[in-house]
Structure 1
Amino acid sequence: MADVLSQSQIDELLRSMNDEKTEPHKEMQNKKAETVEKDYSKYDFYSPRKFTKDKMKILTSIFENYARIITSQVNGIFRVMTDITVIEVQECRYYEFVNSLNENSSVTLTDVFVEEHNKNLVPLMLYISPGMVITLIDHMLGGSSEAVKVEEGYRYSDVETALYKKISSHLVQALKDGFSNYLNAEFKTQRIEENPSMIQDVGLDETVAIIHFNVDLAGLAVERIKICMPGTLLEYMFRLIDNRKHIARGYAYEDNREKIFENIRHSSLPVTGQLGRVGLELSDIYHLKVGDVIDMNKPKDSEVKLFVGKQSWFSGTMGIYKKNVAVRINRRFYGEDEKRSEETKPLEEVQEVSD
């Protein structure tokens, strides 16, 4: 016999079914709210952005090229299979860069020299994580192929500091090639600072660009490289890049003939004088002796053709100027409608003679 449910039991069943339907809906809403909060990036209106997205894209392009260069250099020089990539190019305040390092972190200060600028610019800063440095030093000294893991606050010994300067110098020199597509600049190591909080070249609230690199050491370890570029240095570099863009656009106009001619005006070209041409058989040349005369089939006072390269440009008369053999130009016929006969061709274009 079937059980008969009371009205209170029926109400209880309906209430439980409604609760089961509403709980998944609430969970979905909470997940959506969490994803929105994660994707949302906060903007600090007290420190507005100083560089546009286009400028940051240029900087990203420069350091992506730089990452490819130092990857090949590290692989070739230190015999370590690495893959160096750009993680992020971030604009922030300088104190954020200092706070991300330890008191024992070594930072390489690098001077930047640009041809158009005579004064010293604010140096950029290069930081290499200790794990990468010790691994490369281990390979330099003939160690194993394994990656060496060290603590974040590792302090280098005197020998390791000297080798650290050698490693950082390779990374500093590669900066020139990284910037070569946009700017002609020289980068030289100024000094190694073992306490980044003591660097006073940049104010703590100054805007800087921090470039984060990921270094994969043969799949055995992941290390970091950071480059900090002060805002004043970036402003000057971007100004030079923008000026060169405007100059490059100027060459697209039709009135650049004088500029092109000015660039090639001092080019050196060979000039050859040719009195005439004659063809001799090989047997005749073989029997030539001192004092023999070759008939040029031209009178002695005939004009001499002058060739610039392999093209005839002028004709003139032979003579002497300050005890030197000279040619006085009588006329110029390059560019005029003149039939090029065989006698106007230079000597090196003479066809082979028959046997």
Structure 2
Amino acid sequence: MALSQKEIEDLINSVIKKSETDMKPQIAKPRLRVYDFRRPDKFSKDHLRGAQLLFDNFSRQLTSYFSALFRMAIHVGVNSVDQITYQEFAKGLANPCCVGVVTWGDLPSNMLVSLGMKVALPMLDRLCGGGGNPPGISRSLTEIELAMSKRVAQSMVDIFRDTLRECRIDAKDLLVSSMEVNPLFVQQALPPNDMVLSVSVGIRFGSQSGTVEFCLPYTLLEPVLPALSASRWFSRGGNVEEDKGREETVSEALEDIEVPLSCRLGGTVLAVQDLLSLEPGDTIDLSAPKDGYAIIYVFGKPKFLAKVGRIGTRLAARIVAVAENGEEDPIL
């Protein structure tokens, strides 16, 4: 059946319109996601992974330290690493609590270390000579127990400081300034909407289990955030420039260390009978040639050959060569 002229024109127009539609650029629709302005994300996923690795290392060191301190098997492991508001962290504190306020040099914010009472009281009981058993009732800490818990918290902070140094973060001024037992006092430490890194570390202490909570404000970590990235952990061994700088630092520190140095002219072997009969005025043959070399020892090891002489009224030795391997006193 033949098409009319009008049908042919309509068919051509429909093909042209379809071609024009296909040639129009496809504009991608914007991807939207929910954003809470009251609790903005301050820590990236890479920072959270880096913090996980940091506290995994810290937990291993703390396990060894606590096991030796309390003389019993203790396991420490990371439960969670999250970013939350400080208000959420403070609401999670029990009453009574055991919270250490930690200062970090001149930085504007403080770090908090919260010892769960389920493990704090058994730990203190163990330190006082007990079996590490929990009390029958929940109670606050006495002044003596508070002082002891401050020492425990400081030891944990010292281990955390050493862990930070492995990331090349200077944390030499970490100090537990005070201990708080009332959560109301702790709530005033930071603005409620400030974002913090909350790390929960689980502790299994004998038959007891509890947690230690770390609260690290963003304002405290902001200067060191680049060092907390997970990629930094995996690449820290291959940075030639940093390794060279570390070697220079170690070399500079070694320059002021004093080492024992001695100069030996020679030696001989005596029978015990001859040794016991020695008197002032006796002469001992050192079995060394008159024009031979003395040996300079460093840390008891032969390092240099020297000529013996005088400088004024004092004996002196002038180094003439480096001692080769095995160039020791044959008597010795």
Q: With structure 1 as the length reference, what TM-score do the two structures score?
A: 0.61
- For the pair 1:50 / 2:42, whether they are aligned, the reply is yes
Contact persistence 2:199–2:213 (CA under 8 A): yes
* Secondary structure in 1 matching 2:176: strand
2:282 aligns with one of 282, 288, 292? 292
- For the pair 1:229 / 2:216, whether they are aligned, the reply is yes
CA distance in 2, matches of 1:210, 1:195: 16
CA offsets per residue over residues 108-129 of structure 1, 9 Å max, x none? 242234xxx5x25422223344
Q: 1:71 to 1:196 in 2, by over 3 A?
A: farther
Contact persistence 2:268–2:331 (CA under 8 A): no
1:188 aligns with one of 150, 153, 176? 176
Q: 1:140 to 1:43 in 2, by over 3 A?
A: farther
Q: Which runs of 5+ in 1 are unaligned?
A: 1-41
Contact persistence 2:99–2:114 (CA under 8 A): yes
Which residue matches 1:174?
156
- For the pair 1:202 / 2:190, whether they are aligned, the reply is yes
CA RMSD of aligned residues (A): 4.5
CA distance in 2, matches of 1:51, 1:324: 67
CA offsets per residue over residues 325-348 of structure 1, 9 Å max, x none? 333x2x62227xx898xxx633xx
Which residue matches 2:91?
99
CA distance in 2, matches of 1:246, 1:125: 31
* Offset of residue 81 of structure 1: 6.8
* Secondary structure in 1 matching 2:193: coil
- For the pair 1:307 / 2:296, whether they are aligned, the reply is yes
Which residue matches 1:345?
328
Q: 1:248 to 1:268 in 2, by over 3 A?
A: farther
CA distance in 2, matches of 1:126, 1:191: 9
* Offset of residue 141 of structure 1: 7.7
CA distance in 2, matches of 1:267, 1:73: 30
Which residue matches 2:307?
316
* Offset of residue 49 of structure 1: 2.3
Which residue matches 1:333?
321
- For the pair 1:250 / 2:241, whether they are aligned, the reply is yes
Aligned length: 287
CA distance in 2, matches of 1:236, 1:264: 30
Which residue matches 1:111?
102
Identity over aligned pairs, percent:
17
Return the letter of the residue paired with 1:187.
L
Contact persistence 1:306–1:315 (CA under 8 A): yes
1:273 aligns with one of 263, 278, 287? 263
CA distance in 1, matches of 2:214, 2:103: 13
Return the letter of the residue paired with 1:308.
Y
* Secondary structure in 2 matching 1:171: helix
Q: 1:74 to 1:305 in 2, by over 3 A?
A: closer
CA distance in 2, matches of 1:339, 1:178: 44
CA distance in 2, matches of 1:74, 1:270: 38
Q: With structure 2 as the length reference, what TM-score do the two structures score?
A: 0.64
* Secondary structure in 2 matching 1:126: strand
- Does 1 or 2 have the higher relative contact order (CA < 8 Å, sep 6+)? 2
CA distance in 1, matches of 2:139, 2:69: 24
* Offset of residue 299 of structure 1: 7.5
2:79 aligns with one of 66, 79, 87? 87
* Secondary structure in 2 matching 1:290: coil
